[in-house]
Amino acid sequence: MTMSTRDHLVTAVLVLTGAAAIWSGMQMVAGAGLFPIIIGVVLVLVALAHSLVIGRGLVSEPEPDSIYWGRFAAALGLAVAFVFLIEPLGMYVAMPLYLFLAIRLLSRAGTVTAVLVGLGFTVMTFVTFHTLLEVPTPPGLLGMFFDL
């Protein structure tokens, strides 16, 4: 598969995902669908921008050499484990753990950076869902100590 074919495939997937999010948000009760609609619009806009950049030849990336299958399998396993651990551990324990491990596995960032990013995203998620949107998340272990 050539890079051009991949780029067109990425654009199509983004547009379809964005359209599905917009459609899904429009089917929801008033107010509840705002977030999916916003995400869908952003996805479609990113897809269009991607299509324009690639179409004009503004970006020329070399073909990737090869995939490191071991790292890919580890990242996939980590994502699957995160999905299955959200319920028993809770969102606010599983998320920083997943982010820390993913950053350490997939980047050259140090331990301090991985901890700060993991905790920062977890705090932003807590403020967004628990405080602003008042949407419950799986409490897990922290549910024993706090009213989540």
CA 105 centroid distance within chain: 16
Q: How much is the pLDDT for 36?
A: 87
Tell me the two tokens of residue 104: 């350490």
The pLDDT of residue 86: 93
> The tokens of 97 are what?
């753990």
pLDDT of 102-120, one tens digit each? 999 998 889 999 999 999 9
With 0-12 / 13-18 / 19 or more C-beta atoms within 10 angstroms meaning exposed / middle / buried, residue 40 is buried
The residue ranges of DSSP E strands in 1-148, in sequence order, are none
Q: Which of 5, 110, 112, 129 is nearest to 63 (CA)?
A: 5
Highest mean pLDDT among 1-10, 18-27, 63-72: 18-27
pLDDT value at 57 more than 70? no
**Would you list the DSSP string of 34-75?**
HHHHHHHHHHHHHHHHHHHHHHTT---PPPP----HHHHHHH
Model pLDDT for residues 59-93, shown as the tens digit of each residue: 566 666 677 888 889 999 999 999 999 999 999 99
- Nearest CA to 119 out of 136, 103, 139 is that of 103
Q: What is the pTM of this model?
A: 0.63
Residue 53 confidence (pLDDT) above 70: yes
Q: What is the structure's pLDDT at 104?
A: 94
- Does the pLDDT at position 51 exceed 90? no
